[in-house]
Structure 1
Amino acid sequence: MEQETGRKEIPITRDFVRRDDDEVKKLSKINDAEKLKIALNEKRKSKDMPPLANLINASRKAGNVPVLLYLALLWRCTKPPYETKGIPAAAWARLLGLDNPQTAGAKRIYNAMAILEKNKLISTDNRGRGNIANIVLLDSRGTGGSYRRPYDEYRINKENLYFKVPTSLWVHGKMQKLGSPGIAMLLIFIAEGAYRKENNNNLGYSFPHNAFVIRYAISAATRTKGTKELEKEKLLKVTKKHVGEDSFSVTRLRTYYKLTI
């Protein structure tokens, strides 16, 4: 699909993976673990979570297919009206590397379409399996509004930040090997610039206190599993280092993450 679209990177709005509203800033100041847990549970009940977190939570049964399919749609739909027509589910299943693309793989694609539509990331005229669905992208924030290219939004408002996922991860089969935790952490690390040499003297990215669960609404277990998946595929280097202000300070162990993409 890289030759077909001409894209070597998939642009994604940062709001797809994280929240930066006033409530998040308030939660980040909570130091009491129990109070933080209660506040986060209330936030989850409000369903005001980043779309990526919603897809990962849905993926407990659907696996990595919903988020993979959404990335593939972002890759393909490059021009207004940001839609794709006439592609059978089996073709999407083959692109995603699913087993039995004509049968079980196609079924997983239809299930993923339903999840994406429920989360207001796409609209589709699909009315049953066996039919070819026409798919239209919607706002990557999950508002149900019209889709706009991330760099167009950035031109309008410099606070509308976005990041780019290299399509080489697809071409070389790395993306398809990752489970939903691995894909989630890959997107988060790319969004945070964990591949940049200037991050912490080339050590990589380190999450501020409380920031991870609050910003991304991804559990610690998913974070751990995802980072291990990335390490296994040699896409991530993890470094632990003792840090302290001076020789008399109580040092603490800090973890740094550096993508090797």
Structure 2
Amino acid sequence: MSRSSATAVTAESRRLLKQLISRSRRTSGVQFPPAFLRDDDGFDPPLSRILRGGQGGDVRLKLYLTMTLLAARQPHEIRNIPARTWAQVLGLPEPEVNGARRIGDALDFLAGMTLVRVAGGQGRPRDVLLRSPSGNGRTYSWRDGRYISMPLGFWANEWIYRLTGSSVALLLVLRDMRSNRQPTDPPWLTTDQKRRYGLSEATWTRATKELTDNGLLSVRRRPQGKDFDHRRLRNTYWVHTERLDDAASPPATPPQE
């Protein structure tokens, strides 16, 4: 979709987003288990499945991340937020009608993936209960040994309006890749390692450019292999998480999803 910062993000969108952040009472990022991002058994993980479908994927991913931001405490439930309000929070055009419909479609999709349980409707707001981010339908929990977090600045500094869904997904992937590495030893991926995230080459290429253009990513070409081995040049990736602590400036030309 067109970047909402150019078309539909309003002062009301920003006010409601800040209200949700305050209502969540979070002081740090939102945590996700590795199983949300990657699958080592050859299946597509929830993150990549949410993203598929062009404009719909953008809405689904940002809605799911923002619902997870809000439902920070037991029982991880959200009540009485109308679809039009979610549409305003995400900066969707025509929030009263088309925007609300897109939110409804996104909720149905996420429920079909067993990431949420949805109840109600027919003239009243639908209640949402978060389920496991791994998509197995179990009780919500992000605790799985280690975890990957989306910094609070993603919402507080309005990066959610600046970035496309593809770039948001890759940002989470890069957070997973970075782990405990240092800038002097940035991570790189083999083809098989890359596949476990389930993102297409087109998504990877497009999102890499967008994150780089926004100062969130540095990509370098470095040789891999020991001194006497055949050495291949591979891309290394270093995500600048600290950049999310700065306000997201509006793009000169909004990118297309």
TM-score, length of structure 1 as denominator length: 0.77
Aligned position for 1:27: none
Aligned position for 1:258: 238
Aligned position for 2:128: 135
1:192 has 2:174 as partner? no
CA distance in 1, matches of 2:128, 2:46: 18
Q: Which has the larger radius of gyration?
A: 1
1:175 has 2:160 as partner? yes
Root-mean-square deviation over aligned CA pairs: 2.0
Tell me, what secondary structure is at the counterpart of 1:124?
strand
CA distance in 2, matches of 1:137, 1:204: 34
Deviation per CA, 1:103-131, whole angstroms, max 9, x where unpaired? 22222111111110111100111444x53
Match of 2:217 among 236, 241, 244: 236
Match of 2:35 among 15, 37, 41: 15
CA distance in 2, matches of 1:118, 1:97: 24
Match of 2:194 among 212, 228, 245: 212
CA distance in 2, matches of 1:220, 1:232: 18
Aligned partners of 1:174 and 1:233 also within 8 Å: no
The Cα shift of 1:63 comes to 3.7
1:74 has 2:74 as partner? no
CA distance in 1, matches of 2:102, 2:152: 22
The Cα shift of 1:61 comes to 4.7
Residues 138 and 175 of structure 1: is their aligned pair in 2 closer, same or farther, counting only changes over 3 Å?
same
Residues 137 and 251 of structure 1: is their aligned pair in 2 closer, same or farther, counting only changes over 3 Å?
same
Gaps of 5+ in 2: 1-19, 242-257
Residues 126 and 192 of structure 1: is their aligned pair in 2 closer, same or farther, counting only changes over 3 Å?
farther
The Cα shift of 1:101 comes to 2.0
Residues 87 and 183 of structure 1: is their aligned pair in 2 closer, same or farther, counting only changes over 3 Å?
same
TM-score, length of structure 2 as denominator length: 0.79
If asked which structure has higher relative contact order (CA below 8 Å, sep 6+), I would say 2
CA distance in 1, matches of 2:25, 2:189: 34
1:226 has 2:245 as partner? no
CA distance in 2, matches of 1:253, 1:145: 42
Tell me, what secondary structure is at the counterpart of 1:64?
helix
The Cα shift of 1:74 comes to 0.8
Name the count of aligned residue pairs: 221
CA distance in 1, matches of 2:155, 2:62: 10
Match of 2:91 among 97, 103, 110: 97
